[in-house]
Structure 1
């Protein structure tokens, strides 16, 4: 990828137009070389630097805090477009926006205001929460420890699946103190005692640096720790709905990328099958039908994501206002997010296969790298599988049983 040259920079506004020429130029530059990066495993540091310089990570920071003041729906419109440009880059930012949503968007003290300013200035925040020793994914009781040491704490432990942290300026870490109280700290990734290892070897999302992070006697100030409370961060019911919908939005973006590549592939074809109904591929009704199916799936995937984002906006506003209906609104957002995942994942995965029906065997060459769309969509879908979502939705529709308030619902 060429050196970053984009001049786009987020301006305090409630309406970042995803179709504006300046923003489209930024997306085009992120998309440049995307397939080659994925095929050759070239880590997208330059693309993340473009995002850092554009201050795109400050979309959800309020205008008076130096951010874009965007709604959740507006943010997810951007995420879909980022997923279309580069699914790895979009995924790298998932944890950043999740941390901003929980602990940075609404500052409570001087420390959180410092975090907000850092994000408003372009900083990216990674995440280190998962421990393989826990029997359940999403368990919030970590083995990583915060041990008092004078006026500070020493952080020790190992985290896995630290998506995006390799590219970040800060990292949020979940840990517990000697009393068992759990909380999170946000610290610079270059602080002494932190080791980042890029050891993710999945079939898809190969460049997200979803690797291992070691913390060895990392000094943490008391002010940098936010201990769990019922109305803060991880204590909020359905607090992971945002993170789940983010992945679904990336799959909606992948569906758009498949449509782009499918249409271009048909237009570029010079040969067709002996028994094809038309000698010109662009006039072949079967190829037209297949591209039409892909286009419809991409539309549906994006539509359900944005509908769920609207519900998440309502829930977030209710929590911000301290309204009595906040939990009910959050449950509705989680329900719509789960339904959206089932639809968007199915269309993205299916479209990734249909792409080969418009190209034939030559489309399977390694050079084309078209298989990355299916691999990436399938990998994203494997996060909190649709089977669990469908079962919980069915249980709710039949018996009125609420969805789980914790975990990725």
Structure 2
């Protein structure tokens, strides 16, 4: 990794800056999971502290963090509460899109909003039997120079905490696919916390409904101009969730083993914390967390190269071919890491329970939330497809798709 992509001094300063907030978040994570309480106060505190603007350049009031620095922070946050990292996934993706947008007043307006603590949520996935590739959510002219949005979306992760909603839709007048950046604070927007997953319970995921929701013309962004490494970026956030979960499992299970007073007559030591078999298990979990963090860092470095190339392309200092190559490399890296980390972290979390006895399954301890969270994050964007695509690349040189959709099969 180059020193330009990860400034250790700046990362240490940022980590220290947000450490008290992360500690507060960690202290209540288990109880929020148990009760389904949304971390509204915690997300608001992060936004007020400038966490949502860490990628914004210092010249515009942000922290100027690189992507490797951002994803290390997101991994630290995920170790405190992976729900919040995932809830902010769409916010940081929208920030990234605005960072690589053509410089100008509209871009500057968005950067200022991020610095002011405004957050962006997500509304991309259509509800129901919409066929793969189709978009039911529509943007229509209102007859007065503006536009209105109508439609229903699901998996609207983070939108319940957001000031703006990044919405994938289709214009009725031109037929083009767009991103409508909709102000969430208006009567035409309804966000429901109706996600019923057994893990990642407090991401604020659910249904978003738009009924003549107003969107300004300048906040309609042609989808074809969207930053090209977006899919790799979204996946990298999930990788940070997995890496942070592994880090939390190491920390919590090590503490449980250190405090354990009971042992077995046929154990390998008189004290559980000195039992070599149990220490080996925790060591293996630690190694998995180490590898997961390393994979996140490698993918973040490839994303940084894609970002740098995109900026250079705008300035005329890179070619379209170089830009495509950088984006393809980022997509491949994120897919390879996903294929490796999903089973690695899930197996590590499962194996961690072998270091403790039946008491580890106590609902009061709520240690099972780590497995539920990892399993839920791992079920996003199925890794089995990514493994096939990576294999096709290795054997046939096929590029991985950088944009894809989900919906009902055309046969159905």
* SS in structure 1 of the partner of residue 130 of structure 2: coil
Q: Of the candidates 207, 232, 244, which is equivalent to residue 241 of structure 1?
A: 232
Give RMSD over aligned pairs: 1.7
Partner of 1:4: none
Per-residue deviation at 1:84? 0.2
Cα distance change of structure 1 residues 19 and 117 upon mapping to structure 2, 3 Å threshold: closer
For residues 100 and 237 of structure 2, the distance between their equivalents in structure 1, rounded to whole angstroms, comes to: 17
Residue 167 of structure 2 is aligned to residue 170 of structure 1? no
Q: Is the 8 A contact 1:127 1:163 kept in 2?
A: yes
Partner of 2:285: 294
Residue 139 of structure 2 is aligned to residue 146 of structure 1? yes
For residues 272 and 377 of structure 1, the distance between their equivalents in structure 2, rounded to whole angstroms, comes to: 29
For residues 356 and 253 of structure 1, the distance between their equivalents in structure 2, rounded to whole angstroms, comes to: 18
Partner of 1:85: 80
Question: What CA deviation, in whole Å up to 9, does each residue of 1:86-131 have, x standing for no partner?
Answer: 0111111111001111135646443332221110111111011110
Higher relative contact order (CA 8 A, sep 6+): 2
For residues 14 and 330 of structure 1, the distance between their equivalents in structure 2, rounded to whole angstroms, comes to: 28
Residue 201 of structure 2 is aligned to residue 210 of structure 1? no
Question: What CA deviation, in whole Å up to 9, does each residue of 1:233-256 have, x standing for no partner?
Answer: 1xx544311011111111000000
Q: Of the candidates 327, 330, 351, which is equivalent to residue 324 of structure 2?
A: 327
Per-residue deviation at 1:297? 0.3
Partner of 2:344: 347
For residues 402 and 167 of structure 2, the distance between their equivalents in structure 1, rounded to whole angstroms, comes to: 21
* SS in structure 1 of the partner of residue 21 of structure 2: helix
Q: Is the 8 A contact 2:182 2:213 kept in 1?
A: no
* SS in structure 2 of the partner of residue 15 of structure 1: helix
For residues 166 and 85 of structure 2, the distance between their equivalents in structure 1, rounded to whole angstroms, comes to: 18
Segments of 5+ residues of structure 2 without an aligned counterpart are 1-7, 406-412
TM-score, length of structure 2 as denominator length = 0.91
For residues 332 and 191 of structure 1, the distance between their equivalents in structure 2, rounded to whole angstroms, comes to: 40
Cα distance change of structure 1 residues 145 and 320 upon mapping to structure 2, 3 Å threshold: same
Cα distance change of structure 1 residues 371 and 296 upon mapping to structure 2, 3 Å threshold: same
Q: Is the 8 A contact 1:62 1:105 kept in 2?
A: no
Per-residue deviation at 1:343? 2.1
Per-residue deviation at 1:380? 0.4
Question: What CA deviation, in whole Å up to 9, does each residue of 1:306-342 have, x standing for no partner?
Answer: 0111111111111111122111111111111111112
* SS in structure 2 of the partner of residue 16 of structure 1: helix
TM-score, length of structure 1 as denominator length = 0.91
Cα distance change of structure 1 residues 50 and 381 upon mapping to structure 2, 3 Å threshold: same
Q: Is the 8 A contact 2:100 2:307 kept in 1?
A: no
For residues 273 and 407 of structure 1, the distance between their equivalents in structure 2, rounded to whole angstroms, comes to: 53
Q: How does 1:227-376 map to 2 (within 5 A)?
A: 227-229=222-224, 232-233=225-226, 236-322=227-313, 323-324=318-319, 325-376=322-373
Question: What CA deviation, in whole Å up to 9, does each residue of 1:184-206 have, x standing for no partner?
Answer: 12122111210111100001100
Residue 150 of structure 2 is aligned to residue 156 of structure 1? yes
Q: Of the candidates 122, 126, 136, which is equivalent to residue 127 of structure 1?
A: 122
Cα distance change of structure 1 residues 349 and 397 upon mapping to structure 2, 3 Å threshold: same
Question: What CA deviation, in whole Å up to 9, does each residue of 1:142-175 have, x standing for no partner?
Answer: 2111111121111111111000000111111121
Partner of 2:53: 58
Residue 84 of structure 2 is aligned to residue 95 of structure 1? no
* SS in structure 2 of the partner of residue 33 of structure 1: helix
